[in-house]
Amino acid sequence: MRSAELKQLALECGFDLAGIANAAPLAEATHYLDWVSRGLAGKMGYLADHRADKRRDPRSLLASARSVLVVGQLYNAPMPYSTCFDDATLGWISRYAWGDDYHEVMRARLKRLDTLLQGHTPCETKICVDTAPLLERPLAQAAGLGWIGKNTCLINQQQGSWFFLGEMLTSLDLDADVPPPDRCGTCTRCINACPTEAIVRTGHNSPEWELDARLCISYLNIELKGEIPASQRSGMGRHVFGCDICQDVCPWNRRAAVSTDAPWQPRQIAPPLAELAILTAAEFGSLFGGSPISRTKYQGFLRNVAIAMGNTADPVFRVPLERLAQSDDAVIAEHARWALGQLKSSVECA
């Protein structure tokens, strides 16, 4: 099978972007390994442990690999951006988490693609969706899907940056695509808009900017388990899961493509904080089962809700926070006590 045929098959299997990269060492691995060695991955041990070195070369996952098919799955829904949203009674959920968890959906689509490929041209393959030690964004860039913006997201000139990525390594020797030019230019909107100044200079030119994950809201409210340092809580705003600000402000997302694909249609966008605060563990499980939000687990989610209520400063949240402060869960209770300390007194607000 030739490159163009495989990419066409990928589109027929439901993907929105498809490109081919060589299965070869990636120049970006040098910066990646330096990034983790400086501790900028925070407590995300899976990025920094023995698997980090495997990311140098896709062939560490499939020795016979000659090519990598990279696919993009658009998940953008036709809903407002978080930066246009000012109802202080609601918590914000990151756009990628409005629908179903993407891992299984994309894996099933890649398996179907693999079956079609094997029926035509038997070869060795390996399917990867997020969890394998691959440098997904540099590979997607090499496969011509877009460039890596200063916000560290992959940006497609026509469709924007609201994509999940997946890969199929193959022993087929396919024609590789050409990476597009970097079209960020002199723009610094994402850097200026980041509320926690998490996009920082590298001190060199390639890349010029990097993410200090330890400062990023998405790291704090998803990846970081247990206590969030008190000094970082007020910067988190009302984001109860993830943060999209550096993508919301990106000019390439002004007219971003929208998906009509069933799995990504929104379940919850900005639920009322007062309703989230009274969820039981069982209700959390039934509301967010099969959604990326389940990754925080109940404790992490209620912790985030408490911080969000505190950051409104609105005394309307005193009663739910007092209830959370009595929680048997020490992490939830401590964050609720912190949040109570952020509320204005009713007299001040009158």
Q: 146: Cβ–Cβ under 8 A, 6 or more apart, which residues? A: 17, 72, 140, 154, 155, 156, 157, 161, 163, 180
Q: If binding is defined by CB under 6 A, does position 184 make contact with ligand SF4? A: yes
Q: How far is the CB of 185 from ligand SF4 (least distance, A)?
A: 7
Which of 245, 308, 332, 336 is the binder for ligand SF4 (CB under 6 A)?
245
What is the Cα–Cα distance from 193 to 176, expressed in whole angstroms? 36
Which of 41, 52, 97, 198 is the binder for ligand SF4 (CB under 6 A)?
198
Residue 93 CB coordination number (10 Å):
25
Q: If binding is defined by CB under 6 A, does position 307 make contact with ligand SF4? A: no
Count of residues in the chain: 350
Contact between residue 74 and residue 162 where contact means Cβ atoms under 8 Å apart: yes
Which of 9, 106, 194, 256 is the binder for ligand SF4 (CB under 6 A)?
194
**Helices 297-312 & 281-288, crossing angle to 10 degrees?**
90
**Catalytic site includes residue 130:** yes
Q: How far is the CB of 211 from ligand SF4 (least distance, A)?
A: 6
What is the Cα–Cα distance from 36 to 308, expressed in whole angstroms? 29
Stretch that binds ligand SF4, among 83-91, 162-170, 209-217, 223-231 (CB under 6 A): 209-217
CA nearest to 171, candidates 69, 67, 71: 67
Which of 93, 128, 168, 246 is the binder for ligand SF4 (CB under 6 A)?
246
Looking at residue 280, what DSSP letter applies?
Answer: -
Q: How far is the CB of 83 from ligand SF4 (least distance, A)?
A: 10
Stretch that binds ligand SF4, among 8-16, 105-113, 226-234, 250-258 (CB under 6 A): 250-258
Q: If binding is defined by CB under 6 A, does position 77 make contact with ligand SF4? A: no
What is the Cα–Cα distance from 48 to 40, expressed in whole angstroms? 10
Of the residues 87, 114, 130, 314, only one is catalytic, namely 130
Which residues contact ligand SF4 by CB under 6 A? Answer: 149-151, 184, 187-190, 194, 196, 198-199, 211, 216-218, 243, 245-246, 249-252
The residues that are catalytic are: 130
